Amino acid sequence: MTYGVGYLAALMTFVACDMVWLAMMAPRFYRPTLGDIAISGVNLPPAIAFYLLYPIGLLIFAVNPALRSGSIGSATLYGALFGFFTYATYDLTNQATLRNWTTQLTLIDVAWGTLLAAIVSAVSFWTVTKLVGGG
């Protein structure tokens, strides 16, 4: 039950927060920066796969260790670190290989990924401790 509740909390928080971010930032920042390398719309299969898989990583590397220690601060810190390293990997690879990818885009996206993963991990930890009682 712990894993199911944690996953659902992480998934719902992750998707909701990222959809708000993308709705605000895609037309203002991502599309103008990426220009002709951005597709119109979304390629749903890989997008769905990403949104289903990423919360599993947060549970494994941030939430579950924090449940063992009983610390929301640990969930938040390890979530932030997971977000930083995963988003940095993605963004720096894109910056190294895509002509339109800018340093500004990398910095903003990595900052967002760090904050988003920290929030999602904290919310998932809190939800599990309130609904299930911890690890």
Q: What is the pLDDT of residues 77-127, one digit of tens each?
A: 999 999 999 999 999 999 999 999 999 999 999 999 999 999 999 999 999
Instruction: Please report the pLDDT score of residue 65 as a whole number.
Output: 97
Q: Is the separation of the CB atoms in 117 and 62 below 8 Å?
A: yes
Residue range(s) defining the domain that contains residue 52: 2-131
pLDDT at 135 over 60: no
Q: Residue 124 is which amino acid?
A: S
Nearest to 62, CA basis, from 120, 128, 127: 120
pLDDT digits over 61-78, tens only? 999 999 999 999 999 999
The residue assigned the tokens 């289903």 is: 52
Structure tokens at 129: 């401790």
Instruction: Please report the pLDDT score of residue 30 as a whole number.
Output: 95
Structural domains in the chain (count): 1
pTM attached to this predicted model:
0.95
pLDDT digits over 19-62, tens only? 999 999 999 999 999 999 999 889 999 999 999 999 999 999 99
Structure tokens at 87: 């988003």
Q: Which strand (E) or helix (H) includes residue 74?
A: helix 72-97
